[in-house]
Each structure stands twice: as C-alpha cells, then as structure tokens.
C-alpha cells in the first residue's frame, strides 16, 4: 500500500469514526437543517420538515409507515433523522445534503417494502419520507393523471373515481401500498388480465437524480425511463411523480366470493381452477386464496358484466 493510499484510508477511517461516534443524532440534525435551508426554498421551513430523534413525534413519524411489523422491533436500526419534504426543492436539497454530510438516504413512500428497505439500514442513515408529497391530478379530457410518489394506491383510485365512473388504473389490490415503490416495481392487481401491469400505463415521470436535478421523461432519456418502470426507483434516484394513462372500465362491476372448506371438496376446486384460470375471458379476474387451515376462497372480479363466467364453478 502506497503512502498516499494509506493516508487516504486513514482519512476515510477518521471520517467514519467521526460519523459513527462523535456525530450524534442531534448534531446531524443541526447540520442537516442548516444544509437544507441553504439548498432549498422556502428557506425558513427547513426545521419544520426534519424530525430529530429527540422530537416527541419522531417515533410516530417513523412507525406510521412501517408496514411490516418484523421491522418495528426495539432492535431494528433507527434513522438518525426523518426528513419529510413538502416541496420538490426540499427533495433536491435532501439529496445534496445527504452527500455533503455523508449519511445514507433511504426513500420511503408507502412503506410496504417486504424487507423494510425504505426505513432500515446497517449503516447510519436518514429517511426521506415522501408522505407529504401525495397529490393526484386527474385529467379526464386526455385520460391521464399525475400522481406524486407519496400517494397511496387507494388515493389514486379514489381521485379517479371522483372525476369519472368509467375510468380506472390497473395497480395493486392493497389500497395502502405507495405509488413510489409500487409503480417503480411493476404493479399487478385486479385488472391484470385485462390491462397488464401498472408500468404498462406510465407515460411520463419526474425524478430527482443523484446530483439533485429534476428530470422528466425527455431529459432523463428512454433508458432511465425504462429502468424506473420495473427496476425499482431507489437504485436510480428519487421518484417525485408518475404520469399515468387511465384505462376504461365499465360503470358496474361484479365481485363475488366462493368459500369452500376441505369437507366441501375444496381440493377439487383448486385442481379445476388451475386448469381453467389461464383460459377464461380476460375481463374476468380470479384469485384463489388458501386461508387458515381449511377455508378456500375463490375470489372473482368481472370488470364487464357481460362476461360473467359462472360455468367455471
Ligand atoms: C400488504 C401488501 C400488499 C401488497 N399488494 C400488492 C399487490 O396487490 N400487487 C403488487 O404488485 N404488489 C403488492 N405489494 C408489494 C408492493 O407493491 C411493493 O412492496 C412496493 O414496493 C411497495 O411500495 P411502497 O411505496 O408502499 O413501499 P416502500 O417501502 O416505501 O418502498 C419500496 C421500495 O421502493 C423504494 N422507493 C419508495 N418510494 C420511492 C421513491 N419515491 N423514489 C425511489 N424509490 C422509492 C424504497 O426505497 C424501497 O426500496 C404488496 C405489499 C404489501 C406489504
Ligand atoms: C418535531 O418535528 C416537527 C417536524 O420538523 C416540528 O414541526 C415540530 O415542531 C418538532 N417538535 C418538537 C417538540 O421539537
Ligand atoms: C387536460 O388535458 C387537455 C388535453 O391535453 C388539456 O388541454 C388541458 O389543459 C388539461 N387540463 C388540465 C387541468 O391540465
Ligand atoms: C365432491 O366431488 C365428488 C366428485 O366430483 C362428488 O361426487 C361429490 O358429490 C362432491 N361432494 C360435495 C360435498 O360437493
């Protein structure tokens, strides 16, 4: 090892020691707020969007979007601070400050990550929590919507329904899943057979890159735009919002459940279901849930009344 690289290593080690020992959550908080006010506008709001560990609302802010209780234990590593931007410029500033101060950033939208990746880390980190950025702007004239990353799927569905009873968006079944993680990862749900995945209906996006610049589809280029539709968002930047193309749905849909226990030939139904479920009409969505011990539920949702295929039973 050369003298220069040894010196560099020492410097890095020293830097690490400073971060992990002397830099308490409090001083990180001070540094971060100071940095944020320098790089974001409106300047005077920086302290009102950062939660220090000592803040009485810290735990509540942290736990509000922990959707996997496995990662809600005392031993689960906690963020040094939680940053809750309510303005796009604050997201830009948070990325810049994360680099300047040298702590890892975890991005959280709906907090449904199965591995808790949006709010747990092995190294000192902070959470960039997107829950304040949750607007949904639906434009029925051109059948699109701009939806911010912090919105939930349920909010997106509801906002579309408010404007039109014959439009919808194909995404997940669970209404509390976040747009930020879901739309960057794929997104499948009740309209899967008819309309495919959520990412098949994304037409534009806004992302903040590692240098703090806001890019849209045009300025990020088609490769990056492709990557953030299935490759996950956090590997590439912070997704601010997606523009989605709405799909047409009938005004009335039919939903029904069939429940059978093992004593009622449930095994027979599971067997039959596997043979017909890929052949039935695409307007009929079915899912089969094997639930605690004996009950089997066949859940059918038809998105067009004319295609009720009851003969499957
Ligand atoms: C109860 C439950 C039901 C589910 N149902 C379905 C379903 O029906 N269909 C389906 O397809 N999937 C389903 N999922 C999976 C879900 O879509 C994914 O876990 C998704 O990644 C969650 O997104 P989130 O924003 O809620 O999660 P988060 O935990 O906030 O984020 C997930 C990942 O995306 C990253 N990320 C989040 N926001 C951003 C952002 N703005 N920019 C960049 N990166 C970001 C995070 O860092 C993390 O790596 C379900 C999950 C759960 C727990
Ligand atoms: C906790 O943090 C929030 C968000 O930054 C802030 O608005 C609030 O005043 C803080 N509360 C206390 C008691 O410090
Ligand atoms: C909705 O889309 C139409 C057609 O593209 C456009 O003319 C209109 O300005 C949009 N409305 C809003 C509120 O953005
Ligand atoms: C179960 O299936 C068998 C064979 O298909 C049939 O003979 C029997 O009547 C069924 N029992 C019930 C309870 O449906």
Query: How does DSSP assign 32-76, residue by residue?
Result: HHHHHHHHSSSGGGGGGGEEETTSTTHHHHHHHT---GGG-STTS
Architecture category of domain 3-129 in CATH: 2-Layer Sandwich (3.30)
- Residue 222: C-alpha distances to residues 146, 201, 225 (Å): 19, 15, 5
pLDDT in tens, 174-217: 999 999 999 999 999 999 999 999 999 999 999 999 999 999 99
Please state, in angstroms and rounded to a whole number, the distance separating the CA atoms of residues 295 and 261.
5
Please tell me the pTM assigned to this model. 0.88
Q: What does the pLDDT average to over 209-238?
A: 97
Which atom of ligand 1 is the closest one to the Cα of 177? Answer: 26
Ligand 3 centroid from CA 138, angstroms: 10
- Neighbour tally for 24: CB within 10 Å: 13
CATH 3.30.465.10 at 136-248, yes or no: yes
Question: Is residue 101 pLDDT above 90, yes or no?
Answer: yes
Does 136-248 match 3-129 at the fold level?
Answer: no
Domain map of the chain by residue range? 3-129, 136-248, 254-312
Which atom of ligand 1 is the closest one to the Cα of 234? Answer: 44
Ligand 3 centroid from CA 144, angstroms: 9
DSSP secondary structure letter of residue 228: T
Which atom of ligand 1 is the closest one to the Cα of 236? Answer: 43
Describe the crossing of helices 25-39 and 88-101 by its angle, rounded to 10 degrees. Answer: 130
Q: Which of 139, 143, 146, 245 to mutate to test the pocket of ligand 3 (most atoms within 8 A of CB)?
A: 139
* Atom 5 in ligand 1: residue holding the nearest Cα: 174
Q: What does the pLDDT average to over 131-156?
A: 98
């Amino acid at each position: 090892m050369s003298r220069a690289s040894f010196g560099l290593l020492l410097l890095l080690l020293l830097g690490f020691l400073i971060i992990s020992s002397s830099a308490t959550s409090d001083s990180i908080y001070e540094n971060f707020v100071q940095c944020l006010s320098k790089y974001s506008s409106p300047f005077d709001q920086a302290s009102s969007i950062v939660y220090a560990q000592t803040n009485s609302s810290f735990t509540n802010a942290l736990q509000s979007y922990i959707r996997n209780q496995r990662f809600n234990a005392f031993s689960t590593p906690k963020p040094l601070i939680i940053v809750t931007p309510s303005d796009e410029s604050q997201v830009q500033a948070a990325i810049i400050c994360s680099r300047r101060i040298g702590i890892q950033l975890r991005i959280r939208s709906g907090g449904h990550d199965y591995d808790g990746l949006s709010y747990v880390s092995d190294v000192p980190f902070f959470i960039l929590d997107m829950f304040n950025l949750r607007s949904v702007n639906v434009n029925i004239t051109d059948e699109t919507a701009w939806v911010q990353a912090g919105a939930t799927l349920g909010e997106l569905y509801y906002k579309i329904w408010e404007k039109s009873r014959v439009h919808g968006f194909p995404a997940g079944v669970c209404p509390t899943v976040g747009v930020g993680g879901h739309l960057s990862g794929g997104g499948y749900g009740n309209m899967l057979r008819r309309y495919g995945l959520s990412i098949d209906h994304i037409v534009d996006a806004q992302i903040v890159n590692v240098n703090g610049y806001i890019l849209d589809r045009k300025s990020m280029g088609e490769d990056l735009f492709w990557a953030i539709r299935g490759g996950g968002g956090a590997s590439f930047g912070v997704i601010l919002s997606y523009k989605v193309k709405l799909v047409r749905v009938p005004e009335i849909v039919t939903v029904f459940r069939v429940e059978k226990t093992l004593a009622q030939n449930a095994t027979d139904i599971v067997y039959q279901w596997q043979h017909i479920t890929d052949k039935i009409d695409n307007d009929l969505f079915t899912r089969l849930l094997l639930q605690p011990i004996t009950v089997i539920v066949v859940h059918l949702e038809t998105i067009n009344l004319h295609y009720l295929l009851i003969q499957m039973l």
